[in-house]
């Protein structure tokens, strides 16, 4: 039985990956803030990923074949800006220090273990190229992007200097029914359902024309597994390669429930606290090297999210046919 550790197991990707690996008969340990769970019945103490010895002890005891480092410090574009020293310290701790502890533990205690690091399209900042591949200049302009870029560099360092199997996925936006409510995708889904129910009269969004490369999170989790099961470690763009706008998302969501979005949606650019840049990823290398391809379309993704969230409302709404 293969063994895997998921760091950041309670987030959207972590939960999806946990279930994905269980279906493939892995024994899985999930590590998150103050939490640890194991599918195999083995008991583990809670692990502080910022303490090297605790990470070493976990890896020595479990001897995982694979580690997925998905821990991240997330902020939506409509959150108040926090570009300050506390944010830098917290982001660096999660994206770099914790990662370094796992890489060092692999080097010292379990050299055959493979690690996947979830980087972000934010490492490209205000990209000059509208479509980015693995050779696009790394030029982050926010703390999230800077620290994710540092994590990428750290993986490359351990890969080249110590032979650690450290692979990186540069992930573009990806959604699922598990997406947190403060993200614009979930805000749209919940908004259209509440409007359909008569519990909300209007949906106010920050920038309808913001361009996003939007994929389906379960597809991206599958890409992580593909990347980590190649013969050699490398860096890969994980994206759809298609540019969508917030307005595209809105139109599909409202149409699914038989509503005219123009009657309910208002744009207020004052809500956008962080600047949005045109970033679309080129997944050609990933598709060629692993034969990975997205299975769920943009439209299907939105419909799946609506169907699931409808279950939280009354039977009258839940049984409405999505057009």
Question: Any idea what DSSP says for residue 322?
Answer: P
Distance, CA of 57 to CA of 36 (rounded, Å):
14
Domains, the chain, with CATH or none: 3-176+214-238 (3.40.50.720), 184-211+242-318 (3.90.25.10)
pLDDT of residue 78: 43
pLDDT one-digit tens code per residue, 152-172? 999 999 999 999 999 999 999
Q: In this structure, what token pair is assigned to residue 170?
A: 């540069």
Average pLDDT over all residues of the chain: 92
pLDDT of residue 42: 84
Distance, CA of 227 to CA of 210 (rounded, Å):
29
Distance, CA of 136 to CA of 124 (rounded, Å):
7
pLDDT of residue 312: 77
Is 215 in contact with 176 (CB distance < 8 Å)?
Answer: no
The pLDDT-based confidence of 113 (bands split at 50, 70, 90) is very high
Asked if the model's pLDDT at residue 200 lies above 80, the reply is: yes
pLDDT one-digit tens code per residue, 277-304? 789 999 999 999 999 999 999 999 999 9
Q: Is the full-model pTM beyond 0.75?
A: yes
Distance, CA of 66 to CA of 73 (rounded, Å):
22
Q: Which of 187, 239, 181, 180 is nearest to 208 (CA)?
A: 187
Which has more confidence, 252 or 322? 252
Question: Any idea what DSSP says for residue 93?
Answer: I
Question: Any idea what DSSP says for residue 96?
Answer: I
pLDDT of residue 270: 79
Q: Which of 134, 38, 135, 154 is nearest to 92 (CA)?
A: 154
In this structure, of 153-162, 202-211, 220-229, the range with the lowest mean pLDDT score is 202-211
pLDDT one-digit tens code per residue, 237-277? 999 999 999 999 999 999 999 999 999 999 987 776 666 67
């Amino acid at each position: 039985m293969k063994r895997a550790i998921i760091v950041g197991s309670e987030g959207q990707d972590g939960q999806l990956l946990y279930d994905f690996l269980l279906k493939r008969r892995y024994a899985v340990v999930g590590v998150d803030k103050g939490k640890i769970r194991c599918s195999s019945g083995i008991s583990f103490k809670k692990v502080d990923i910022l303490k090297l010895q605790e990470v070493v002890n976990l890896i020595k005891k479990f001897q995982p074949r694979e580690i997925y480092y998905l821990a991240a410090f997330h902020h939506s574009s409509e959150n108040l800006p926090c570009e300050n020293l506390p944010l830098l310290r917290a982001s660096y701790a999660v994206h770099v220090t914790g990662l370094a502890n796992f890489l060092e533990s692999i080097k010292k205690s379990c050299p055959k273990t493979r690690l996947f690091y979830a980087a972000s399209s934010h490492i490209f900042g205000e990209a000059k190229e509208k479509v980015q591949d693995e050779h696009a200049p790394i030029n982050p302009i926010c703390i999230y992007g800077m620290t994710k870029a540092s994590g990428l560099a750290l993986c490359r360092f351990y890969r080249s200097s110590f032979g650690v199997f450290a692979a990186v996925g540069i992930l573009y936006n990806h959604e699922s029914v598990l997406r947190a409510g403060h993200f614009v995708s979930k805000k749209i889904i919940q908004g259209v359902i509440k409007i359909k129910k008569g519990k909300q009269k209007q949906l106010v969004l920050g920038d309808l024309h913001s361009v996003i490369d939007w994929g389906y999170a379960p597809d991206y989790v599958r890409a992580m597994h593909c990347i980590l099961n190649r013969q050699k470690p490398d860096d890969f763009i994980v994206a759809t390669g298609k540019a969508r706008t917030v307005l595209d998302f809105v139109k599909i969501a409202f149409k699914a429930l038989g509503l005219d979005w123009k009657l309910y949606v208002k744009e207020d650019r004052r809500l956008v606290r962080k600047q949005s840049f045109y970033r679309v990823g080129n997944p050609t290398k990933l598709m060629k090297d692993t034969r990975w391809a997205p299975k769920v379309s943009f439209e299907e993704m939105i419909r799946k999210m609506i169907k699931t969230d409808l279950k939280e409302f009354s039977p009258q709404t839940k049984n409405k046919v999505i057009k």
